[in-house]
Structure 1
C-alpha cells in the first residue's frame, strides 16, 4: 500500500486512467525526450556518486557479475520456452526484451528503497548498464541461428530423378559488431554511462554541486515521466491483448521466476537486501526503449507489437504497481 500512495505511482495510475478514458491529455514530444534524458542523467550521477563513496570491492564485483549472468540467463530461458509458442524470430525478440532492463522500473525501485530507508549500492546503476548488451548479443545469435535454419539445404531432382542437395538462399546474419556499436553508442545508453563516470570522478564535491538538479528535482520529474508512461501503457493495451495467451502468461509469470532466481543468486553471494531487491527488479523488468529500437534493425522478421506490447502493456505496470514492493519484501525476508 505504501508504494501505491507514492505521488509518482499515483501519477502513473492517473495516466493509465486518462488514457483508458481516451482523454486528449498528452505530453509534447520534446518534453518527453527531455524527461527521459533528465532521468537517465540524474540516475547516472546518483550511481556515480554512490560508487565513488563505496569504491570497488569484492562485494561490488560479485554484484556486477551476478547482473551480467542474469542478463545471459534470462533470454536463454525465455527463448527455450517461447520458441514452442511463437516463431523463432519472435521468440528471440521477446526473450531479448525480457533479458534486458527497464530504466524507469529501476529508477522507481531506487525511490521506493529510499522512501523505506533501505540501503543499496551505487554500483547497481552500473549493473543496469551492463545488462543491456548481453541480451542484445543473445538476440542476434539466436536470430542468426534461425536464419541459418530457414536457409537449410533443400532437395531438388536432377539427372533422371536423382536427389541432389542444394543450399537455400536464406537471409544473411546480422553482424554482432554493428549491433554492439549501436547498443553502446545509443544516446540514452551513452548518457547514462557518461553521467555515471562524471559522478564517480567528481565525488562528494560534485554531489553537493548537483544536488538541486539530481536530487531536489528528481521526484517531481519522475512523477511527470510516469504520467506519460501511464498514458503510453493505456494506449498500448491493444498490442498486448492481441498476443497469444501463452505469451501473456509468460509476460506475467516470467518476471516472478526471474526475480526468484536473482534472489537465490543474491543470497548465495551474500548481497544486502537493497542490492538484492534491485537485482530482482533488473532481472524481472523488460526493455521497451533501447532494445526494441535495436531489434527493429537486428531482427526485422520479428513482430514489434509482441515484444513492445508485452513489455510495456503487461510487465511494466505489473512490476511498477505490485512487483517492486513484493521483491523488496521477499529480499528483506530472505536476507534480513
Structure 2
C-alpha cells in the first residue's frame, strides 16, 4: 500500500525526534500554518456552500451538531469507570475526543484527492460545527452538582476559540465571496494547501514523538483508549454518513471526523475553563496515540472498509 506523500513528512518528523536528531521547527511557523489551514479549509467550504445549500443540508447540520454532543458522552464513562480517572480529567479528555482534528481532516482530504475520489464540498462546515459542542459538554461534565456555572464563559470558550472562529470566519467569507472572487486568492489558499499541510505534519511528527514517550507514565489504558475511541467514533460517523446517503469520499470524511480528536482548540479552551485538569494526559492520548493512529493506519483502514462494505 502506497503511503500518501504528506504522511511521509509526519514520519520524517517523528523519526527525527525519536532518533534525537530534532529538527529546529520555528514555533511562529507552526502557529502560522495552523492559522493557514483553518482559514483555507473554511474558505473552500464557504465557496461551495452557496451551491449546495438546501433544506437537506440543514437537517444534516443539526444531526452533525447532535453527533458532537454525543461523542464526549460516550468517551466520559470509558475514562471514568474503566480508566478510573477523576471527574475533571475524564471530562477534559472526553472533550478532546468529542471535538475534531483539522489536521486529520486535511490528511483525509489529501488522501481522497490523491486517489481521485470525490466528496461533498461543504464538509468544512461540519468541521466547524464539531469544534464547539464537546467543549461545552466537557465543562458541564466537570462541574459538580452544587458548583455554579459561568454560562457567559462557557459560551465564549465554546464558540469563540481560535479553531471555531477561523473556520466559521473562513466559511462565511468564502460563502459571501463565491467561487469567482475566491479565484483571486486561490494561489495562496488552494495551490499551497498540500505543501503547507506537509510542513505542518513535519512539526506534528515531532510533537507526536515527544508525547509518545509519556505513555509509560500514564499507563496502557491511555494507549488503549487512544485507539479504541477513534474506532467507536469512526463507526458512528460512518453510520451517520450512510444515513445521509453521502458519497464514498464524504463517508470517509465524516468517519474521520468522528475518529479524530482535538489538540489545538480544545486544549486552549479547557486549560482556561479547567485549569486544574492535567492537560498532559489529554495531549499524550490525542497526539501520542490517536493522531498517529489515524494518519498512519486509521484513514486507509476506514477507506478500505467503506469501499468494500458500502461502495463495492
Q: With the length of structure 2 as denominator, give the TM-score of the two structures.
A: 0.94
Partner of 1:326: 301
Q: 1:26–1:228: 8 Å Cα contact kept in structure 2?
A: no
Give the Cα separation in 1 of the matches to 2:153 and 2:46: 28
Partner of 1:91: 90
Deviation at 1:136, TM superposition (A): 0.8
Give the Cα separation in 1 of the matches to 2:151 and 2:259: 25
Question: Does residue 16 in structure 1 map to residue 14 in structure 2?
Answer: yes
Deviation at 1:74, TM superposition (A): 1.1
Partner of 1:53: 51
Q: Deviations over 1:134-156 (max 9, x none)?
A: 10111111111xx33xx7xxxxx
Q: Which is further off, 277-286 or 233-242? A: 233-242
Partner of 1:155: none
Deviating runs (4+, > 4 A) in structure 1?
A: none
Partner of 2:115: 116
Q: Deviations over 1:50-72 (max 9, x none)?
A: 223323341x2343233222211
Deviation at 1:174, TM superposition (A): 4.3
Deviation at 1:49, TM superposition (A): 1.6
Q: Deviations over 1:84-141 (max 9, x none)?
A: 1211111111111000000100111111111112221232211111111110111111
Partner of 1:157: none
Partner of 2:233: 258
Q: With the length of structure 1 as denominator, give the TM-score of the two structures.
A: 0.87
Q: 1:140–1:176: 8 Å Cα contact kept in structure 2?
A: no
Q: 2:271–2:279: 8 Å Cα contact kept in structure 1?
A: yes
SS at 1:216's partner residue? Answer: coil
SS at 1:189's partner residue? Answer: helix
5 Å-filtered alignment, 1:1-336, equals 1-2=1-2, 4=3, 6-58=4-56, 60-84=57-81, 85-144=84-143, 147-148=144-145, 172-336=147-311
Give the Cα separation in 1 of the matches to 2:310 and 2:125: 22
Q: Deviations over 1:206-228 (max 9, x none)?
A: 23222211221111111111101
Give the Cα separation in 2 of the matches to 1:109 and 1:127: 14
Give the Cα separation in 2 of the matches to 1:235 and 1:90: 21
Q: 1:89–1:143: 8 Å Cα contact kept in structure 2?
A: yes
Give the Cα separation in 2 of the matches to 1:229 and 1:290: 15
Structure 1 alignment gaps of length 5 or more = 152-171
Partner of 1:159: none
Partner of 1:158: none
Q: Deviations over 1:28-77 (max 9, x none)?
A: 1111111111111111111112223323341x234323322221111101
Structure 2 alignment gaps of length 5 or more = none
Cα-Cα RMSD: 1.6
Give the Cα separation in 2 of the matches to 1:202 and 1:139: 35
Relative distance call for 1:70 and 1:241 in structure 2 (3 A) is: farther
